[in-house]
Amino acid sequence: MKEALQLPSPLQKLEIEIAKQKNIQIYLKRDDLIHPSISGNKWRKLKYNIQQAQQENKQTLLTFGGAFSNHISATAATGKMFGLKTIGIIRGEEHQPLNKTLQFATDCGMQLFYVDREKYRKKNNLDFQALIPDFDKEKTYILPEGGANALAIKGCAEIVDELNTPFDYIVCACGTGTTIAGIATNLQAHQQAIGIAVLKNEHLEQEIRQQIPSINARFSILPTRFGAYAKTTPELINFIKQFYSEHHILLDYVYTGKMMLTLFQLIEEYYFPENSTIIAIHTGGTKNANVFDVF
């Protein structure tokens, strides 16, 4: 199954009328094609964590997420691929039948434990021993929510190493901001990383700058234009369907659809100078949030 990872991921030129009119070139980095069930950037974030877990002789990966978390399903699939057991601590109550994300995680062998929102908020201090009957602290590698840690940043920086087309901007949807932070650690001074937030968190850019003082000076995170996480609008859904019919590329409605629609709007708003080259990252997500399944 390891051979099934498609790396480096392809870079695809997009033919987009509104961009052409402004002499702007857009390429899409197809991290969604890395693996059918390890959603795009989730592999980048897991790679060095898996290596670390193996070096420490861990047998189990334990992580956290909501019931629709791409990180949960990606961790489950990656654990299976590398022969590691997986445990998912899920926010909220159990709902039967399981949704697609959690059913897939369970099918990969992940054990799920549910904690209420109050406990979930304090998840880093959870008493795992009390929650998980056969919990073995020594053999368990704990990954933070969203896989967001320094090794994940290191993995995401490799997206830039794979690019051999000169570019000015690199644009990516962001949740925890780990992916765009990793990218931004690996840019030249004239290049700019732009994160498109899908959650309301006004402090994200500042938090990342504090965490990584050496980050590219031009790095920025733009606020979401779509309200709450996973909220959709008819405009967004139509956009994703239209984009699919024109380019035969599926975008998800939680992350990449919002990133691409915002990117188009920014182009129309003259955010980017003429003759710019932009690389957008397709971070995946289409398995769990496919408009054609839901809308």
Ligand X SMILES: *Cc1c(COP(=O)(O)O)cnc(C)c1O
Residue 262: phi, psi to the nearest 5? -65, -40
Q: How many CB atoms lie within 10 A of CB 165?
A: 11
Nearer Cβ to ligand X, position 205 or 252? Answer: 252
Residue from the set 108, 173, 260, 280 that interacts with ligand X by CB under 6 A: 173
> What are the structure tokens assigned to 20, written together?
């052409």
Number of DSSP helices (H) and strands (E) in the chain, helices first: 12, 10
Q: Which residues of 15-44 are buried (b: 16+ CB within 10 A; e: fewer)?
A: ebeebeeeebbbbbbbbbbbbebbbbbbbb
What is the distance between the alpha carbons of residues 159 and 124, in angstroms, rounded to a whole number?
29
Whether the CB-CB separation of 196 and 256 falls below 8 Å is answered with no
219 contributes a contact to ligand X by CB under 6 A: no
What is the distance between the alpha carbons of residues 96 and 99, in angstroms, rounded to a whole number?
8
65 contributes a contact to ligand X by CB under 6 A: no
| Footprint on residues 178-197 left by ligand X (CB under 6 A) | 178-179
Stretch that binds ligand X, among 21-29, 99-107, 168-176, 212-220 (CB under 6 A): 168-176
Classify residue 74 by its DSSP letter.
H
Stretch that binds ligand X, among 38-46, 125-133, 207-215, 216-224 (CB under 6 A): 38-46
41 contributes a contact to ligand X by CB under 6 A: yes
> Nearest approach, Cβ of 36 to ligand X (angstroms)?
14
Stretch that binds ligand X, among 110-118, 135-143, 208-216, 249-257 (CB under 6 A): 249-257
> What are the structure tokens assigned to 120, written together?
């979930």
Q: How far is CA 87 from CA 113, 166, 254, in A?
A: 8, 41, 24
Nearer Cβ to ligand X, position 70 or 224? Answer: 70
285 contributes a contact to ligand X by CB under 6 A: yes
Nearer Cβ to ligand X, position 22 or 123? Answer: 123
Here's the x/- map for ligand X, 66-95, by CB under 6 A: it reads as ----xx------------------------
Stretch that binds ligand X, among 34-42, 89-97, 238-246, 266-274 (CB under 6 A): 34-42
Residues contributing to the site for ligand X (CB under 6 A)? 39-42, 70-71, 146, 173-179, 252, 255-256, 283-285
